[in-house]
Each structure stands twice: as C-alpha cells, then as structure tokens.
Amino acid sequence: MLRLAGIGKLFGARAVLRNISLEVRPATITLLIGPNGAGKSTLLRIMAGLIRPSAGTVTRSFEDGELGYLGHATFIYPGLTALENLAFWNGMHGRPTDRATLTEALARVELEPFAEERAGTFSRGMAQRLNLARILLQSPRLLLLDEPGTGLDARSLALLHREIAAARERGAGVVWISHDVASDVARADRIAAIENRTLGYCGPADAYPGPGAGAPSAKEASC
C-alpha cells in the first residue's frame, strides 16, 4: 500500500535520511524506532505526503482520504466542543456528521461524557484521545502515528493499544513511532530501525537484534 525507494532528505546541507527503502503492508504494524534526532518524524511526514523527499520515490496505492496521520500537533480547535471538532473534520472528508456517528467515536475513546465541552479545556491526554477519535472516524487504510502515547495515562494507553490492534485486524497498515519501544516491540509485526540516517534493521519484530547490532545486510536494509 506504501512503498519507499531510496529515500533521502536534506535540510540545507545536512543529511537527515539516506537511502531508505521499505514497504508498508496491509494488516501489519511497523514500529519505526531510532534514537532522538534520528529522523523518525521526518520519515513519517514523508510517508504522509506532508514534506517531499530530497531523493527517492514514494508510491501509494490508496486515496488521500484513506490516510490517517497523528503527529505531535493535535489538529483540534480549542474553541469548538468535542462534537463540533469531529463534525468539522468528518465533514472535510465528506463523511457522516450526524450526532450518533460522532458520539460513537467519542465513546470509543471514552470521551462521550465530555461531548459538549470545549476542547480547549481538555488535558493533554484528553486532547490526544480526541485527536485519535478524529483519525479513527476516517477508518484509514494507512495509519501513521507519531508517539501517540505521549501524555496518556495507563488506561488511555490501553485504549490506544486496543485501537491500534483493531486497525490491523480490519486490514489497515500501521506505522507507529513509540515512546516506549521496550514495551511496544511485542505489539508490532515488523521493526524499521533508523541508525546513522539509514535503516540499520528492517524485518520481523521477533528477529530484531536490538540497537547497534552492526551494519545491516542487504536484506535487512530494504524491506
């Protein structure tokens, strides 16, 4: 559904990514990992079409409306209620905006009691859950998540993990940057590890050797 071939990215004269090739497949969770500043968020934004690569190609086999991207910004309007936020975004995608549909989405992220409250009063965790509801309403074929667990308590994290697993079950491809790699490796099917601006490993999660395992083989560097 998404294929990257020879992706590189420059910011000025500084190389952030080089020669990254990977494929995102349906019904799989790919955990994108690497140290701080490795270029994970940049790569995810290239996947989402928010920035262009300096080299390489991105091939997509889905429509723009079938992509869900959850970044560090929540993309919700603080002056609107939770329901109004969902109605705005669903309407933008030409999807249903009836109260029953939107309320069901809020219930999935345990925000139904706050449906009529303005989003500007929400905690970081509640805002993140509302943002997740916004994405889930699209039922995207490709779900790109940039540290979605940031600011969530244990109960909200469990909810997030449940929805990520449900997305895979319905056939979506998921690319997930986690803030808790040690715990979330077990929830992934594949690992794409960025080391020294390129892929140090790309393959099955249960075969991941860990960071700093040495130069990748040709098979590991492209998957």
Looking at the structure of the chain, the number of domains it has is: 1
Ranges in the chain, pLDDT < 70 = 212-223
Determine contact, residues 202/220, Cβ cutoff 8 Å. Answer: yes
Sequence-separated contacts (24+) of 216-223 with Cβ below 8 Å: 221/19, 221/21, 222/21, 222/22, 223/21, 223/22, 223/23, 223/190, 223/192, 223/199
- Per-residue pLDDT at 212: 58
- Per-residue pLDDT at 112: 97
What is the domain extent for residue 148?
2-221
| CATH code where residue 71 lies | 3.40.50.300
- Per-residue pLDDT at 216: 46
- Per-residue pLDDT at 124: 86
- Per-residue pLDDT at 7: 97
DSSP-derived 3-state class of residue 38: coil
